[in-house]
Amino acid sequence: MRKKSVVGNWKMHTTADEARRLANAVVEGVGNDDRVSVALCPPFPYLALVGKILDGSLVALGAQNLYPEEEGAFTGEVSPTMLLDVGCKVVILGHSERRHALGESNAFINQKVRAALSAGLDVILCIGETLDQRKVNRTESVLDRQLIQGLAGLAPDALPRLAIAYEPVWAIGEGGHRATPRQAQEAHELIRNSFGKLFGEKPSLALAVLYGGSVKPESAAALLHRSGVDGALIGGASLNADQFLAIARAGIREPKTKGVAA
């Protein structure tokens, strides 16, 4: 069984003080318990500050986006090299909020995925269908297209540094819809099959597929213990250290008494 990963996406939330408190609480809660991989993705302005707090801990630093160029006249953008420079290990790309609110295309997301991987960052590529697409049975074709176009041209040696987050757009945030563990598992199977067709069976079996969409402490265990669910990408609940740590604990089958499992 692959080790579960729990990743906090703070989106455009927190002040510097809140970021400091949240990061310290997560580091303390995780302690030296390495049974679940934990990463935090604060907003750009707090990456360096949170990176210092995470330094030397088991909690990795991640970013929420990047621009697919090394440097240049790209006002307001942040390069993969800059993210590495402040200590990021991982970057979230293709989030539905960037696809739908900011109009990012699969082709642009693909440029970002390739730039991140070739710079040495790990990538969490988010994919997921809208409610309308699900209602007309287009879930599989949407996921396929986002994978095929988002991962075009990837070198096989980069695949171990890639994870996919299945995030049904209709289940993100406080909109009232929740995917059932069965729906999550079914979509993860579609994703793994589709990935297998693109890159072969062995990489598909090694691929980490995370689930994202209103995961809360109460729902986490049922999702995380489904076959093929390798972890969770957490939005809202990652802004509360107790809730986030409880979700991480839910990824462990045999809790012990210290660290994440306390």
Nearer to ligand PEP, 97 or 144 (CB): 97
In the complex, the smallest distance separating the C-beta of residue 77 from ligand PEP, rounded to whole angstroms, is: 21
Active site residue 167: yes
In the complex, the smallest distance separating the C-beta of residue 232 from ligand PEP, rounded to whole angstroms, is: 8
DSSP code, position 2: P
Nearer to ligand PEP, 237 or 259 (CB): 237
Distance, CA of 228 to chain centre: 15
Nearer to ligand PEP, 236 or 251 (CB): 236
In the complex, the smallest distance separating the C-beta of residue 169 from ligand PEP, rounded to whole angstroms, is: 9
Residue type, position 72, single letter? G
Of all helices (H) and strands (E), which one includes residue 145?
helix 139-150
Q: Is 6 helix (H, G, I), strand (E, B) or coil?
A: strand
Task: Say if CB 151 and CB 196 are below 8 A apart.
Answer: no
Find, among 243, 187, 188, the residue nearest to 220 by Cα: 243
Q: Which of 95, 97, 104, 129 is catalytic?
A: 95
- Give the list of residues 6+ apart from residue 75 with CB closer than 8 angstroms, or none: none
Q: Which of 100, 167, 186, 201 is catalytic?
A: 167
Residues of this chain that bind ligand PEP (CB under 6 A): 9, 167, 172-173, 212-215, 233-237
Of all helices (H) and strands (E), which one includes residue 250?
helix 241-250
In the complex, the smallest distance separating the C-beta of residue 170 from ligand PEP, rounded to whole angstroms, is: 10
Catalytic (active-site) positions: 95, 167
